[in-house]
Amino acid sequence: MIHLVVETLSQYLFVILASPLFAGIFERLKAIIESRHGPSIFQPYYDIFKLLKKETLISFKSTRLFIVAPYIAFGIYSLIALIIPVFMSRPIIFTASGDFFAGAILFSAAAFVKIAGTMDSGSNFSSLGISRILSFNFFSEGTLITVFFAVALITGTNNPYVTNNYLISHPLSNLSLVHIFAIFAFFMIFIYESGRIPTQSEGLQEMGMIDSGIDYEYSGKLLAVNKWSSYIKQYLLGSVLLNVFLIPWGITNTFPDFLLNIPVMFLKWMFLIIIVLIIDTTMAKLRLFKVVDFLAVAFIFSILFLILTEVIG
């Protein structure tokens, strides 16, 4: 029981503490490629700590929802971190509280809470960003649920840990056409949800903002929590992509060898960061109305994945 508690705490703390680091590594490597000095890899931590010390300004139009929404979203992402295999490949204490579908629903719930809190601010800029998010999320969330549903049909279970072990013990399944469609669909959703080119660009706020609109009216501690939860969401989606779809191998379960998962996850994430960097630095940002086409292609991949699962399976 003690080992299980240690493993659970290790997974949770690694997700919470390491998620900003991967965002910092990406920005640092991108700056190097673009011949800029760029920020430190620890810049996300500096930003969070700086914001935690600043005063929080709240619009007179806002209600209590505006204040509590970032904390609720952070709590939801924390729960997801205890359900899906993002550090351990065997179930931990809270795994029984949900599965793939629960994870997808929780992602949607966190997005809904952040949107509701942002709308409560009454800001026109925030409303613009929210309207764009709502215009696109019906494709992204539909793709996420469809991919998880098809994976459950392949493995006979919607338990993410069992799925991970199935793909490890059946390596040829990772080379099947069905699995390749799943990788494409989920990777496109990861690109969109993490705010990378070609769908979004942090440097074009008003002209190209989607997720950035959520943070417009937040400041101080609330903005810090919002940014931190965004880093956690990015890590969770990326780790599912790596541990379930791309590279299910390499994670150990024995105590205390599971601590070797820390360097393993760093290596996996460096692989993913390099792929995203190549796309981010070689492609132009899509026009806003083309983002729907991008997500529609991801949704089509997920539907093909679902059809092939039934036909081939």
Environment class of 94 (CB within 10 Å of its CB; exposed 0-12, middle 13-18, buried 19+): middle
203 is written with which tokens?
Answer: 């440097």
Q: What are phi and psi of 307, to 5 degrees?
A: -65, -45
Mean local confidence (pLDDT), 51-79: 89
Local structure of 103: helix, strand or coil: helix
Residue 209 has pLDDT above 70, yes or no: no
Q: What sign has the CA pseudo-torsion 16, 17, 18, 21?
A: positive
Binned at pLDDT 50, 70 and 90, residue 68 comes out as very high
Dihedral (CA of 65, 66, 67, 68) sign? positive
**pLDDT class of 202 with cuts at 50, 70, 90:** low
306 contacts: CB under 8 Å, gap ≥ 6: 146, 149, 150, 153
**Tokens matching residue 194:** 């993490």
Q: Would you state the pLDDT for residue 78?
A: 92
Q: Which residue has better confidence, 188 or 204?
A: 188
Q: How many Cβ atoms sit within 10 Å of the Cβ of residue 61? A: 11
pLDDT at 288 over 80: no
Q: What is the mean pLDDT of residues 100-109?
A: 83
Residue with structure tokens 């007179």?
A: 60
Rounded Cα gap, residues 183 and 246, in angstroms: 7
Residue 289 pLDDT greater than 90, yes or no: no
Buried b (16+ CB within 10 A) or exposed e, 227-242: bbbbbbbbbbbbbbbb
Per-residue exposure over 17-42, b if at least 16 CB sit within 10 Å of its own CB, e if not: ebbbbbbbbbbbbbeeeeeeebeebe
Helix (H) or strand (E) holding 168: helix 160-169
The widest CA-to-CA distance across the chain, in whole angstroms, is 59
The predicted-structure confidence for 9-45, as pLDDT tens digits, reads as follows 888 999 999 999 999 999 899 889 888 888 899 999 9
**Cα 205 from chain centroid?**
21
